Structure 1
């Protein structure tokens, strides 16, 4: 059986690339197609020397640094991949990968990390953050995103089976594409995180400091709880906002970007891991649970799939008051949350669990097709 795997672009070894890695391990004979490949040499280990087939965008001027500026060409680019000789096509989609063209004799399964966020419900947030709320470039960008929405919706019908990485993404798929999906959570390397035993007095938040992570909200909440210690790990364009929120608060420690070993130590010894972002899934929350650490998380997005009553607390809105109340609720029940229960919960999202579920899903579809 000939297998093709299609991914948007290779830029860093992050969450979506970890899904592609598992696809390559499940179907080692597969050929890999991407719009653009700018992955640094030090992060290419998961490819195991495999050749990567790129689109014409790879050769366009300045594409290695600014390939996202060619978004308007990406639908055309993925449609130029000749996949006619493949029996099985697997796409890893958060933008355009699902738009590849396949024939009636081929099975196309798309693992969807999210529909194109910036073209759908996050369009206005994207325009604000990019400074494109007014002017000629704003009009052009709005027109482009309108065209991308039409293409994105229409190409959903090209997929034989849509797989969503969480219930939240399944709901978004139903909303924007009007099609059903199967939820299979992404693989998390829980074995890298061991169960913590001795707990210290700190709460922990670890996240890239970008606006939607709402790290400053957590900091502001703990600023109002001077008897509780918060450790903040991470860096990014929103770091100045976080520093301003923490200014003068002796109970808040800003650690910046820390080494992986230190992050694991801080997670294993934390009273709880606090998270205020609305995530598609939330790998960091699963890693905290793998350490036996309870969660205090915003109750929308992937957190609904991760947090159980016996492993943490969900709060209803992204506000200082809601976070403060959640910390107080957590402390009232903390003694009943066992580290072993948190660890057991994390194992639901292991690499082995992903491989078993995704392989069984695809093989079941192939068997149905063969029997038809």
Structure 2
């Protein structure tokens, strides 16, 4: 139940009789609200080993999404970070795409995922033509969407660049009724990182920084780089795998601050931490600039055009280079200036992204486009 699944859950609440289509469904991995729907899967569901190695079947994703028959529907709502927006609809169907990002594997994160030296010789020969095909399909299929909604201004800019389309921005939700501060504030003795273990998340930067500082860091998550991540974590960094929502909430409540070293399209995790009254130390790029009121340490400067480098009610600290040294400087700055971060004001900021607000905004948007 990551950000995309939490958005899907709200879509299921807004349209309680709607069918759900997905390439692959791993039963029991999402909430009951989603599991209880009529879920229809693509032919990939029957391919041996696909549930474990689904990334290896990326080239088949466009064919799989185009295999669904949408002719019976007046409205199709796609939640897309890869190929969902490429669904084929009839000429009378309204297709609204809630876009988490254009296909990051083949656009701005292509070299992070498939850079020279990261893959075998066979992969280096096969991946470039596959990626080229996927880029062409991704742009072509964007014309099938009637209305784009982006999850951040950062993503809206990508949609404009790659698809030449405009998109309304409706930020994803955080469940402020569930993610709440402790009744009596208590500062923990560790920092926290919650993430899928994917290349662009740059968890390696955080591990290197905290091992060198000798400061405790707890990693919650898992994924394709888990073996490498666990090898890097030694004396001061602890990997504890994915946790239940209840357990995750307790880790948020107990940490000093959340560490967020990647460039994200939006990022629900920083808002969950802030809903628990905890500040965020984040790389100053991507969607986090829309969710965190960050201070730029004097040594780091700030990105061009970013005027508010010392907000009146800060909810975090930014670092401007994706390096262990830059992160270490920001952690040390945070340690010296913890008095600047008010848990109540941090919580109040997160409430402006609450689940109920997202639900109402999206409902109004759909009514405007369809009615």
Q: Normalised by the size of structure 2, how large is the TM-score?
A: 0.84
Checking the alignment, whether the CA contact within 8 Å between 1:109 and 1:160 is kept in structure 2 is yes
Give 1:207-246 correspondences, 5 Å limit: 207-226=195-214, 229-234=215-220, 236=222, 238=225
Checking the alignment, whether the CA contact within 8 Å between 1:209 and 1:234 is kept in structure 2 is no
Give 1:308-319 correspondences, 5 Å limit: 308=293, 309=311, 310-319=314-323
Summarize the Cα distance change of 1:244–1:80 in structure 2 as closer, same or farther, 3 Å threshold: closer
CA drift of 1:63 comes to 4.2
SS in 2 for 1:205: strand
Q: What residue in structure 2 maps to residue 171 of structure 1?
A: 157
Checking the alignment, whether the CA contact within 8 Å between 2:42 and 2:65 is kept in structure 1 is yes
Task: Give the distance between the partners of 1:45 and 1:110, measured in 2 at CA.
Answer: 24
CA drift of 1:203 comes to 2.9
Structure 1: segments with no counterpart, 5+ residues: 1-12, 368-372
- 1:306 partnered with 2:294: no
Q: What residue in structure 1 maps to residue 356 of structure 2?
A: 352
SS in 2 for 1:41: coil
Q: What residue in structure 1 maps to residue 4 of structure 2?
A: 16
Q: What residue in structure 2 maps to residue 45 of structure 1?
A: 32
Checking the alignment, whether the CA contact within 8 Å between 2:8 and 2:79 is kept in structure 1 is yes
CA drift of 1:115 comes to 1.0
Q: What residue in structure 1 maps to residue 94 of structure 2?
A: 107
Q: What residue in structure 1 maps to residue 20 of structure 2?
A: 32
Checking the alignment, whether the CA contact within 8 Å between 2:197 and 2:225 is kept in structure 1 is yes
How many residues align structurally? 348
CA drift of 1:110 comes to 0.2
Checking the alignment, whether the CA contact within 8 Å between 1:292 and 1:340 is kept in structure 2 is yes
CA drift of 1:255 comes to 5.1
Task: Give the distance between the partners of 2:228 and 2:22, measured in 1 at CA.
Answer: 36
Q: What residue in structure 2 maps to residue 58 of structure 1?
A: 45
CA drift of 1:272 comes to 1.8
- 1:121 partnered with 2:108: yes
Task: Give the distance between the partners of 2:57 and 2:228, measured in 1 at CA.
Answer: 31
Checking the alignment, whether the CA contact within 8 Å between 2:27 and 2:35 is kept in structure 1 is no
Q: What residue in structure 2 maps to residue 193 of structure 1?
A: 179
CA drift of 1:150 comes to 0.6
Checking the alignment, whether the CA contact within 8 Å between 1:216 and 1:241 is kept in structure 2 is no
CA drift of 1:352 comes to 0.8
- 1:77 partnered with 2:64: yes
Q: What residue in structure 1 maps to residue 277 of structure 2?
A: 292
Task: Give the distance between the partners of 2:361 and 2:280, measured in 1 at CA.
Answer: 26
Summarize the Cα distance change of 1:145–1:243 in structure 2 as closer, same or farther, 3 Å threshold: closer
Task: Give the distance between the partners of 2:70 and 2:253, measured in 1 at CA.
Answer: 46
Write the deviation string for residues 131-184 of structure 1: whole angstroms up to 9, x where unpaired: 54634x433332121111111101111111111112221122122112111111
CA drift of 1:366 comes to 1.6
Write the deviation string for residues 163-213 of structure 1: whole angstroms up to 9, x where unpaired: 111222112212211211111122222322221312234333333444333
Give 1:151-170 correspondences, 5 Å limit: 151-170=137-156
Structure with greater helix percent: 1
Task: Give the distance between the partners of 2:205 and 2:47, measured in 1 at CA.
Answer: 41
Summarize the Cα distance change of 1:61–1:222 in structure 2 as closer, same or farther, 3 Å threshold: closer
Checking the alignment, whether the CA contact within 8 Å between 1:114 and 1:280 is kept in structure 2 is yes
Checking the alignment, whether the CA contact within 8 Å between 1:115 and 1:172 is kept in structure 2 is yes
CA drift of 1:298 comes to 0.5
Checking the alignment, whether the CA contact within 8 Å between 1:26 and 1:355 is kept in structure 2 is yes
Q: What residue in structure 1 maps to residue 297 of structure 2?
A: none
- 1:183 partnered with 2:169: yes
Q: What residue in structure 1 maps to residue 333 of structure 2?
A: 329
Task: Give the distance between the partners of 2:19 and 2:266, measured in 1 at CA.
Answer: 27
CA drift of 1:46 comes to 2.1
Write the deviation string for residues 256-293 of structure 1: whole angstroms up to 9, x where unpaired: 23744444333223222222111222222111101101
Give 1:252-267 correspondences, 5 Å limit: 252-254=236-238, 256-257=240-241, 259-260=243-244, 261-267=246-252
The structure 1 segments of at least 4 consecutive aligned residues displaced by more than 6 Å after TM superposition are none
